[in-house]
């Protein structure tokens, strides 16, 4: 994937030096977006396949998993990764019991900082280290793609949040 047809994110046009900055900003942007939004609104899905803002937990987990994947790719030669089980996590990890504002303000910001750290100060050789990304099917990528894809995940889910919130936000 070089460009997301839904949210418009362009992989190749993204400067790798900006990765840590943008990841940290994403943590803050999620927190700001949902500040003061009531829980029923945060739990609403536009359609079954679209994450709701409640699943800020998903973005937190994506950032943590991508961090571990990046570490592995920087240590091992051409590693592959287990599935994230993103849909199963919703129930197994009890996303619906989380307090969205707390997740966004504390946990997502911390996860964004942690993943940003692993992508900080990488050499050209490190950016080019190969890995096998498993979703939607196994394909060889590199650490640079993984960094850009991590940002895409955050941006895309923020796009989903904005679509839901544009449907009419009720604030307490």
Q: Tell me, which fold does domain 18-165 have in CATH? A: 1.20.120
What is the pLDDT, as a whole number, of residue 168? 63
User: Do 100 and 39 touch, CB atoms closer than 8 A?
Assistant: yes
pTM of the predicted model as reported, rounded to 2 decimal places: 0.91
Which residue do the tokens 């900080």 mark? 120
Domain boundaries along the sequence of the chain: 18-165
User: Does the pLDDT value for residue 2 go beyond 80?
Assistant: yes
Which residues is 141 bridged to in the sheet? 131
């Amino acid at each position: 994937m070089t460009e997301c047809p839904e949210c418009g994110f362009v992989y190749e046009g993204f400067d790798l030096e900006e990765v840590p900055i943008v990841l940290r900003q994403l943590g803050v942007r999620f927190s700001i977006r949902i500040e003061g939004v009531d829980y029923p609104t945060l739990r609403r899905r536009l359609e079954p396949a679209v994450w709701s803002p409640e699943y800020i937990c998903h973005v937190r987990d994506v950032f943590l998993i991508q961090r571990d994947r990046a570490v592995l790719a920087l240590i091992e030669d051409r590693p592959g990764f287990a599935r994230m089980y993103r849909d199963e996590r919703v129930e197994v990890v009890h996303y619906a019991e989380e307090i969205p504002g707390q997740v966004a303000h504390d946990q997502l910001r911390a996860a964004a900082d942690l993943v940003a750290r692993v992508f900080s100060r990488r050499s050209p050789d490190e950016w080019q280290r190969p890995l096998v990304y498993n979703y939607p099917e196994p394909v060889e990528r590199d650490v640079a793609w993984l960094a850009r894809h991590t940002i895409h995940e955050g941006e895309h889910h923020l796009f989903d949040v904005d679509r839901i919130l544009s449907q009419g936000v009720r604030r307490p």
